[in-house]
């Protein structure tokens, strides 16, 4: 019983006292905002990269596009996101006075796009070759076959992996405090500094990440189930 009251006291000290929950909620909002914009940017850039790679693989004249995409993906995947973030921050912010959150969104969006591109490419390649042949042999163009036959099937391969990528991205944004953005992790650290207890606010922050991830996972599996409609036997 005394353990429980002790725990409650620490929680109340970290979360309720001095309206500290407001800092958490603000930080949490910032985490979600950055993640959302970064995901959008990552998907848009990732699609462009995947298209470039697809064109390069299937049309000789587009080969240079593929080389560019490959260099981009290799560099992004081969360097730590924290270092990328610092580089973008000092490159953009100190030079032009743009808010740090923009650097954050850019960094995580660009970083995610490299992974998204590979996910999309793999998803398209996993569709049976015979599907493209069947479409083309009916007289459909390559674009029509892509749109009507390949992509609807590829999406089912892509979505689960893409969902995982979103989840990874949300968690990765926890390092954004390194460029002065007040996300939920940074907010927890600040609360820790002023309340002389780091453990409790960090546990609270962890719980907040966990809740988002669980909700996202649920939504994804619902979506997957809807997409699996044609698998019925």
Residues within the interface to another protein (CB under 8 A): 128, 130-131, 133-141, 144, 148-149, 152-153, 156, 229-233
- With respect to another protein, which residue has the nearer C-beta, 95 or 143? 143
CB of residue 148 vs another protein: minimum separation in angstroms?
Answer: 6
CB of residue 126 vs another protein: minimum separation in angstroms?
Answer: 13
C-alpha closest to that of 213 among 41, 40, 35, 37 = 35
| Angle ∠(47,42,185) on CA atoms, nearest 5 | 165
- With respect to another protein, which residue has the nearer C-beta, 87 or 138? 138
CB of residue 137 vs another protein: minimum separation in angstroms?
Answer: 4
Please count the other Cβ atoms lying within 10 Å of the Cβ belonging to residue 82.
14
DSSP class per residue in 4-47: HHHHHHHHIIIIIGGGHHHHHHHHHHHHHHHHHHHHHHHHHHHH
- With respect to another protein, which residue has the nearer C-beta, 36 or 140? 140
* 100/120 Cα distance (integer angstroms): 30
The separation between CA 116 and the C-alpha centre of its own chain, rounded to angstroms, equals 9
- Provide the CB-side half-sphere exposure for 14 (13 A, CA): 23
- With respect to another protein, which residue has the nearer C-beta, 55 or 213? 55
- With respect to another protein, which residue has the nearer C-beta, 13 or 157? 157
CB of residue 13 vs another protein: minimum separation in angstroms?
Answer: 55
CB of residue 162 vs another protein: minimum separation in angstroms?
Answer: 18
């Amino acid at each position: 019983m005394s353990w429980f009251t002790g725990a409650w006291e620490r929680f109340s000290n970290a979360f309720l006292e001095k309206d500290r929950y407001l800092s958490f909620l603000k930080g949490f909002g910032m985490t979600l905002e950055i993640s959302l914009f970064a995901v959008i940017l990552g998907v848009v850039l990732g699609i462009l990269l995947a298209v470039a790679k697809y064109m390069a693989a299937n049309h000789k004249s587009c080969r240079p596009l593929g080389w560019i995409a490959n260099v981009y993906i290799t560099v992004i995947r081969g360097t730590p996101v924290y270092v990328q973030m610092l580089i973008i921050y000092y490159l953009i912010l100190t030079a032009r006075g743009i808010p740090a959150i923009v650097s954050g969104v850019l960094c995580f969006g660009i970083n995610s796009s490299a992974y998204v591109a590979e996910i999309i490419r793999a998803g398209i390649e996993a569709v049976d070759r015979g599907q493209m042949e069947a479409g083309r042999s009916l007289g459909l163009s390559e674009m029509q076959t892509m749109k009507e036959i390949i992509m609807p099937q590829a999406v089912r391969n892509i979505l689960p992996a893409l969902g995982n990528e979103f989840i990874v991205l949300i968690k990765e944004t926890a390092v954004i405090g390194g460029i002065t953005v007040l996300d939920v992790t940074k907010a927890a650290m600040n609360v820790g500094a002023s309340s002389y207890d780091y453990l409790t606010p960090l546990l609270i922050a962890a719980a907040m990440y966990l809740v988002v991830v669980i909700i996202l996972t649920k939504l994804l599996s619902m979506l997957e189930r809807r997409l699996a409609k044609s698998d019925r036997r």
